[in-house]
Copies of this chain bind each other. A is one copy, B any other.
Amino acid sequence: MVKLHSSMFIGVQGDGIISFGSGQPDLPPPPEVYSCLPTYHDFKYGLVQGSEKLRNALALEYKGFTKDHFVITNGASEALDLVLRTVGKPGDKILLHVPYYYAYKPLVELNHMEPVLVRTGEGKIDYDDFEMKVHGVKAVIINSPSNPTGRVQEIPTLKKIEKITDDLNIPLISDEVYKDLIYERENYMLHGRKVITVNSFSKTFAMCGFRVGYLFSTDKDIVEKVITLKTHSSMNTNILGQEMAYHATKTPKSFIESHVKIWKERRDLIYSEMVKMGLDVWKPEGAFYVLPKIDDSEQFVWDMFKKHKVITYPGEWFGAPGHVRFSYALDSEKIKEGLERVEEYLKGR
């Protein structure tokens, strides 16, 4: 078996291929997003911090924040990279909970920092382990709902994390890109003096390709430093992407509700099917991923792809060997068909 990496699978299509791979909505964005295109004629640089109109619209959505607290970025990815480079320097330690979003660890390492890994139980943060390891780290990254587990952190845990990072004056980076896709309760947004929230239009509005994300914080020093870095590292985020994102903020709430309804149906389907198959699986509470335990996970991923035309991602990429990530961003018929192929393969193992 060759070494697996994501470039083998991204964008792979073809007759009979069923992909549980890519973490992006298959349903299109709201039509409002395209409405500004036919008459668009701007071309000059925008503000590095992001369009005022868009930041004002975001400030309406988040109580207690003004347009000055926001920076619009090239997706949540750039927001995270900018924050890491702003709050940390080479040699610093950054706390992550495992399993983690696959980009966190390489991004920390590419910035010459060191990941400190905190345990979870069934995807929920082990606060004792967190408390022991948080001393001496430069920043903490929390991701709830989580990619790749679909799990949502418990509110009492989140409150304890708010308190201890505040007491220790440690920047708390909260990646909430799936905050609008929760099936069990409302999102609990992390708050605090040193909290930097990262979000995106990619998942809520199915706008992955347009790369419009943002970060916000009441810590003006961090916001200013992020703007300074972005002034030199990429300048403004694409002006037309920002205009489209602005129109997304004007979409009726029913758009998101109708999508969440579909995601929840798919979640129910894939979870109950996996339970029926006898897989050891944690119930996803948000996002659109599920991470069952599957032995010899890289071999499974390779065989399913080469022999059965089913794309999945090995848990190794997420710090979770012995697990396999399934994205359920595909329609119910394909979910069923894909799981049938998985069941057949596992029976024959």
- Which residue numbers of A lie inside 8 Å of B, CB to CB? 6, 10-11, 22, 24, 28-29, 34, 37-38, 40-47, 74-75, 77-78, 81, 85, 89-90, 103, 106-107, 110, 112, 206-211, 228-229, 231-241, 244
Contacts and interface: CB of A to CB of B under 8 A. Distances in A.
Identify which of A24, A85, A207, A209 gathers the most chain B CB atoms within 10 Å of its CB. Answer: A209
Contact of A90 (B112, B235, B236): B112
Contacts of A47: 10-11
Contacts of A208: 43-45
Contacts of A211: 234-238
A28 B45 contact: no
A42 to B, nearest CB: 6
A8 to B, nearest CB: 13
Nearest to A208: B45
A209 B43 contact: yes
Given A37-B40, A45-B208, A103-B232, 18 more contacts: A6-B231, A24-B44, A28-B41, A34-B41, A37-B37, A45-B209, A74-B238, A77-B233, A81-B232, A81-B233, A90-B90, A90-B112, A110-B229, A210-B239, A211-B236, A211-B237, A238-B238, A240-B244
A170 B228 CA distance: 29
B22 A43 contact: no
Contacts of A75: 234-235
A45 B22 contact: yes
B43 A29 contact: yes
A238 B74 CA distance: 8
Contacts of A40: 34, 37
Contacts of A44: 24, 208-209
Contact of A233 (B22, B89, B110, B240): B110
A210 B210 CA distance: 11
Contact of A110 (B37, B78, B85): B85
A104 B233 CA distance: 10
Contacts of A238: 74, 209-211, 238, 240-241
Contacts of A240: 209-210, 238, 240-241, 244
